[in-house]
Structure 1
Amino acid sequence: MRLFRRPSEPNRFGFLLTGLVLFMTVLPVLSGLGRITHALLTEFSLTLLLLAAVWSLTGNRHLFRLGLLLVAATVAATLAYLVRPLPVLVQGVELLSLLFLLLSSGIAFRAVFAEGEVDLNRLAGAASLYLLMALVWALLYSLLHSFDPAALSGLPAPAQAELWDYLYFSFVTLTTLGYGDVLPVSAEARTLAMAEAVVAQFYLTILVAVLVGMLVANRSNR
């Protein structure tokens, strides 16, 4: 039995997975640069990631247009922040990015758990969805921290904290490592952390069960 067949549709999630991996690889490198340069390159990298995510929406014309609209709004808010760095603009960029990533996550979830064979596009979608979860929660932590500076301990003040700081905490929570260097303090932060850990474990458990079931079903149909 061939585990991987040539996908019947373009490998849309391959672009998304590549964009996510590159984005998360570049972020810690950018942290050593000057603050202005870091902000510019981080927002540029995030824009490229969002454009890569748009490609995952090409199967639905309406969602594709909505994705382009959200990306355009994010870029506009980013440019406004670079001209006048107000905290509310940072929150606007993060909120728009969050909405778009949630949209991409929904598309990936639907594709991963749809009926069919296990191909490279499905596996790329599954991996992308896991990384998207980490990025979505990182933005949630960042937004919460900007409204309540005491929500998380072990991080710089919201004005000095970087997206990488929140992404690090998100991955530590997602994988249930729990190093203890960053801690959720407020009830809202603890709820977010608890929800992330539970959702991640449910996702991995259900994903394995579904993929194994698909492989067994595909084998019996051959």
Structure 2
Amino acid sequence: MYNHSLLRIIFFKKNNRFLVLLFSLILFFAIYPIVENSLVATLVLNLFFMLIIFSGVIAISDTRRPLLISLGLALLAVVFRWTHYFYQFDLWLILEHSSNTLFWTYIAVRMLKFILSQSNITAELIYAAVAVYFIFGLAWASIYQVIEISNPSSFSMSNAEASTQNFIFQMWYFSMVTLTTLGYGDISPVTMTARVFVVLEAIMGQFYLAVLIASLIGRRIAQGK
């Protein structure tokens, strides 16, 4: 019984790790507006945040080194997030989002290495590629939040409430809109620093899609031969 359960866990980790991460990311984005104005919103979101952090660690933990590095960065992100939950100071919020940026950047780099190392197109590869796109959005959103907290009014928001949770969601929303270059215009960068980072994210988003699509097409052609 024990060996059977262990094999199931290993199989789950190796074959569905990116699917679990992708599902966690989508669920996190989807549930945010639902719990945004409830009394337990912050607690629920923090728990879901820990879920995607754990999923990210599992997704890249093929060997000991990335496991230890990702666990260390995850610990920082979780500690700073819960510290800010109990002590509402801007310093803890800046440290939280800075650690988030480091963690998600490392996860994205490791996943990109996996994507580029695969010679065949598989479901696992597709899940990883889509998950990285969402991770880009999270990482850039954290950068924008650090910019706004450090220099208030760096972004102009036409219809944003003053609550911290709403502000965080606004930055995630803006990050994904920028990444896809939709540009609705309801949120816009004002300061030079904010504009530079917004341009960099837009370039990254388009470059990633172009390279990814070209890579997938090339591999599909190679598979067909």
TM over 0.5: yes
Tell me which residue corresponds to 2:11: none
Structure scoring higher RCO (CA < 8 A, sep ≥ 6) equals: 1
- Cα distance in 1, alignment partners of residues 190 and 162 from structure 2: 14
- Aligned pairs for 1:117-128 (under 5 A) are 117-128=120-131
The SS at the match of 1:183 is: strand
Q: Residue 120 of structure 1 aligns to which amino acid in structure 2?
A: A
- Cα distance in 2, alignment partners of residues 167 and 198 from structure 1: 17
> What is the CA RMSD across the aligned residues, in angstroms?
1.7
* Counterpart check, 1:217 vs 2:214: no
Tell me which residue corresponds to 2:203: 198
Is the CA contact (8 Å cut-off) linking 2:80 and 2:95 kept in structure 1? yes
Tell me which residue corresponds to 1:162: 167
Compute the displacement of 1:164 (Å).
Answer: 0.9
**Identity over aligned pairs, percent:** 27
* Counterpart check, 1:172 vs 2:177: yes
- Cα distance in 1, alignment partners of residues 46 and 78 from structure 2: 8
* Counterpart check, 1:109 vs 2:112: yes
Is the CA contact (8 Å cut-off) linking 2:179 and 2:205 kept in structure 1? yes
Q: Structure 2: any 5+ residue segments left out of the alignment?
A: 1-13
- Cα distance in 2, alignment partners of residues 47 and 77 from structure 1: 12
* Counterpart check, 1:139 vs 2:147: no
Comparing 97-106 with 74-83, which one deviates more in the overlay? 74-83
Q: Against the structure 1 CA distance between its residues 190 and 156, is the aligned structure 2 distance closer, same or farther, given a 3 Å change threshold?
A: farther
Q: Residue 207 of structure 1 aligns to which amino acid in structure 2?
A: L
Q: As a proportion of its length, which structure holds more helix?
A: 2
Q: TM-score, normalised by structure 1?
A: 0.88
The SS at the match of 1:113 is: helix
Query: Would you say how many aligned residue pairs link Structure 1 and Structure 2?
Result: 210
TM superposition outliers: structure 1 runs of 4+ over 6 Å: none
From 78, 82, 92, the equivalent of 2:95 is 92
